[in-house]
Homo-oligomer: A and B are copies of this chain.
Amino acid sequence: MPLDSSVSHAFSDAERAAVYRAIHTRRDVRGQFLPDPVSDEVLARLIHAAHHAPSVGFMQPWNFLVVRSPEVKHRVHAAFAQAHAEAATMFPDDERRQRYSALKLEGIREAPVGLCITCDRERTGPVVLGRTHMKTMDLYSSVCAVQNLWLAARAEGIGVGWVSIFQPEALQAALDIPERIVPIAYLCIGHVSHFHDRPELEKSGWLPRLPAEELVYFDRWGQGDGQHPLACQLAALRS
């Protein structure tokens, strides 16, 4: 068991830079998966990282459903395909609808591993420390597990894509997940040919990156200050 002092010693500049590198080069991967298998050793490190996410009341509400069966991947893909076709009809203007349909949005069948991260809302009983007033906190814990895994994967050179275009019930049916268990994320995981330099939706002009300094308020909602040193620092980081 490490002592507090060893846990607490400062990160070196190089260590700090590595953490920022993982954060800033993490990508949602859809089309760059290679067929090379992901070893159980690497996958275990990724799941171990996810399992060390923060969880409300130390509830650890997650499960990790590992999909390697081509048959199961095809069932998951069919659930995606149905929702994707429905989604295309929802965009009000033609141009947007066509651009949406042309996007590559998932690698369910190509990625060697699928991973569904779930939330068991009843894991530790009805009263959960920290969830008494914000009822969604357990769902958020499982999301933190997703993000931990995603950053660890980036450091391993492994790509991750989060597919959310499913009717939740269809995804549950494809994976035999009971009704009471919430599927949080279906992740496509695998080695990749490369990582894009910027998010694909940004590169393709779907939406622009917002200037972070415009999203900052001070002490009360709506109180921005473009001249505040924090805003200036954020603007400087942007370029």
Spell out A's residues near B (CB within 8 Å).
1-8, 10-11, 14-16, 18-26, 28, 40-41, 43-45, 47-49, 51-54, 56-60, 62-69, 72, 83, 86-87, 90-92, 100, 103, 105, 124, 127, 129-134, 136-137, 139-140, 143-144, 146-148, 150-152, 154-157, 162, 164-168, 175-178, 181, 184-185, 192, 194-199, 201-202, 206-207, 209-210, 212, 215-222, 228-230, 233-234, 236-238
Contact B11 A164 (CB under 8 A): no
Can you offer 6 A-B residue contacts whose CB atoms are under 8 A?
A47-B234, A64-B212, A64-B216, A68-B218, A83-B132, A136-B136
- Other A-B contacts than A15-B18, A60-B215, 17 sampled, CB-CB below 8 A, are A11-B18, A11-B21, A11-B22, A14-B15, A18-B18, A43-B233, A44-B233, A48-B234, A48-B237, A51-B212, A53-B147, A57-B207, A58-B207, A130-B165, A131-B164, A134-B168, A137-B164
Contact partner, A143, options B68, B133, B143, B237, Cβ 8 Å:
B143
Contact A164 B229 (CB under 8 A): no
Q: How far is the CB of A64 from chain B (nearest CB, A)?
A: 5
Which residues of the partner chain B approach A167 to less than 8 Å between Cβ atoms?
Answer: 133
Known contacts A157-B11, A222-B176: A217-B43 contact under CB 8 Å? no
Which residues of the partner chain B approach A7 to less than 8 Å between Cβ atoms?
Answer: 25, 194-197
Query: How far is it, in angstroms, between the C-alpha of A52 and the C-alpha of B124 when the chains are bound?
Result: 33
Contact A197 B24 (CB under 8 A): no
Contact A28 B54 (CB under 8 A): yes
Known contacts A155-B19, A197-B7: A72-B168 contact under CB 8 Å? no
Residue of B nearest to A199 (CB): B58
Which residues of the partner chain B approach A129 to less than 8 Å between Cβ atoms?
Answer: 87, 100, 103, 105, 201, 206
